Structure 1
């Protein structure tokens, strides 16, 4: 007689599920922390500093950690070729310097919620660039995902445009540039990360970006602007530790534990968390149009990430 009793989960299955849930929690935490960058930037702008100064303080506080990781990698990894060194310089300038600078410029003019939604179009930019220049075939599901995501952005953009005027268009353009430059970073880093590893690539690229941001400050601003009220230093420290360093390494740990596709889908919590954090901390209103636009963007990115998986 065959028993109809359910088969109990083995200890191995339970352990695997626990490991998956831990990895998923790490990915979600990293996504939320990274999304709070926009909230902290908005708080910093209340002290009348500009994007050049803001990003300089962020990178100055983050640089020691990334430099320490880079030095550790140098001691335990084979030396890089000259060509790879130049590729890392280019990636650091495109991915973390230019993208971050354009992002913070845009945040001076648009809401944190719209900024996060626009940045969430990065995967679609990767797909479009790959289709245009690398002749990658785009499936119907991918086209549907793109159309859904962009429709969501248009809804939120038009809503914010009525309230903020032409400055919203300028800010959105800056953040679109940030998303596009980071998409280029992702495309060009594909082969390099296979050769040298993600930790090494991120540490080196962040060091290049930090050096560029700090050099830019001393070229464009007087050194006296480094003297700021104490809240600027504390918020910049939060920006460096909790919105830059921790998300980078949490995301890498999550990718190792649960894989890049699942970690990418977990990152969909980012725009939602930004929307509600902006309402809670900054007093930005949450409207039905914003919720609808956010839902459309998340649906499109979910379709895209499912296709990639």
Structure 2
């Protein structure tokens, strides 16, 4: 007969396991929405120029984020001058720059290739932190960067026939630029003197991004408002509400229940979902080059996050 102490311990372990499983589900869904952004961007780019489309994305998302802040009682911190400048730079590079380059890149290349290239983000972030912040450059980081680079090279340098005739080195370069923008966003976030609550920071990035992109799109507004294709507007609304708002909520809710390294593993879902959705929604072929490139990029994610998870497992006492 089990003792009350062992029963309580078993119940606690069961609740922890259930909470962890829910977190894994939420992180997976979040990354599926991230992978779907390449499909939305492809559709948006077919009907709208990148800069006005970016402004419209933020215009759709901002009211919803403000409502969420009010509903949750989240307040904006009062940043100093240095942090305010960092936040504006973050929004300009990581929010506006990333979205514009993603849409511009998918205008020129396939959504499947875009999903694979964007999957290199964890490796690029680790390398950027090592180079710019002088964090210790681990062997696993170098291996991840090499493996991810090989995956991208397989996709970008494959013959045109392997891309279903949809290949553009310019488009691939723009997508790599989007990854660099996002890695700089992560880097700048580490430089903030006072960390912001995720919801407040996401809302601030959206608001600043709206101001920057709307101002930059001023020369294009007349032509844009004259013709707003319904399919592009639906894709903008999807991008704003599902990956931007829904994906944010799923990711941070799930990430709160697991370690950062464990959450990072789930970023491998994004390139997989991008490639699969490109095949299902847009009919893009699953070529051998794409599958091999995808496998290498996903492997790079595990190489980047794996050592931290292994160290945590070694330090965790037996339950």
TM-score in same-fold range (> 0.5): yes
3-state SS of 1:258 partner? coil
In terms of mean alpha carbon deviation, does 70-79 or 136-145 score higher?
Answer: 70-79
3-state SS of 1:80 partner? coil
Task: Indicate the residue corresponding to 1:253 in structure 2.
Answer: 253
Q: Within 1, Cα distance between the matches of 2:57 and 2:77?
A: 30
Task: Indicate the residue corresponding to 1:118 in structure 2.
Answer: 117
Q: Within 2, Cα distance between the matches of 1:74 and 1:223?
A: 38
Task: Indicate the residue corresponding to 1:4 in structure 2.
Answer: none
Q: Within 2, Cα distance between the matches of 1:214 and 1:120?
A: 28
Residue correspondence of structure 1 range 98-247 to structure 2 within 5 A? 98-159=97-158, 161=160, 163=163, 168-192=168-192, 195-218=195-218, 220-226=219-225, 227-247=227-247
Q: Within 2, Cα distance between the matches of 1:176 and 1:253?
A: 29
3-state SS of 2:195 partner? helix
In terms of mean alpha carbon deviation, does 154-163 or 29-38 score higher?
Answer: 154-163
Task: Indicate the residue corresponding to 1:54 in structure 2.
Answer: 53
Name the CA shift for 1:22/1:160 in 2 (closer, same or farther; >3 Å).
Answer: farther
Name the CA shift for 1:189/1:296 in 2 (closer, same or farther; >3 Å).
Answer: same
Consecutive unaligned residues in structure 1, runs of 5 or more: 1-6
Consecutive unaligned residues in structure 2, runs of 5 or more: 1-5, 310-319
Q: Within 2, Cα distance between the matches of 1:213 and 1:97?
A: 6
3-state SS of 1:195 partner? coil
Q: Deviations over 1:234-293 (max 9, x none)?
A: 222112111221112211111112232222211211111111111111010001221111
Name the CA shift for 1:210/1:72 in 2 (closer, same or farther; >3 Å).
Answer: farther
CA positional deviation for 1:233: 2.6
CA positional deviation for 1:94: 1.3
1:19 and 2:11 matched? no
Residue correspondence of structure 1 range 71-110 to structure 2 within 5 A? 76=75, 78-110=77-109
Q: Within 2, Cα distance between the matches of 1:118 and 1:75?
A: 35
Q: When the two structures are aligned, how many residues end up with a matched partner? A: 302
Q: Does the CA-based 8 Å contact 1:66-1:204 persist in structure 2?
A: no
Name the CA shift for 1:62/1:40 in 2 (closer, same or farther; >3 Å).
Answer: same
Task: Indicate the residue corresponding to 2:44 in structure 1.
Answer: 44
Name the CA shift for 1:69/1:193 in 2 (closer, same or farther; >3 Å).
Answer: farther
Q: Does the CA-based 8 Å contact 1:93-1:212 persist in structure 2?
A: yes
Q: Does the CA-based 8 Å contact 2:116-2:294 persist in structure 1?
A: yes
3-state SS of 2:190 partner? helix
CA positional deviation for 1:231: 3.0
CA positional deviation for 1:78: 4.8
Q: Within 1, Cα distance between the matches of 2:188 and 2:283?
A: 39
Return the TM-score normalized by structure 2.
0.85
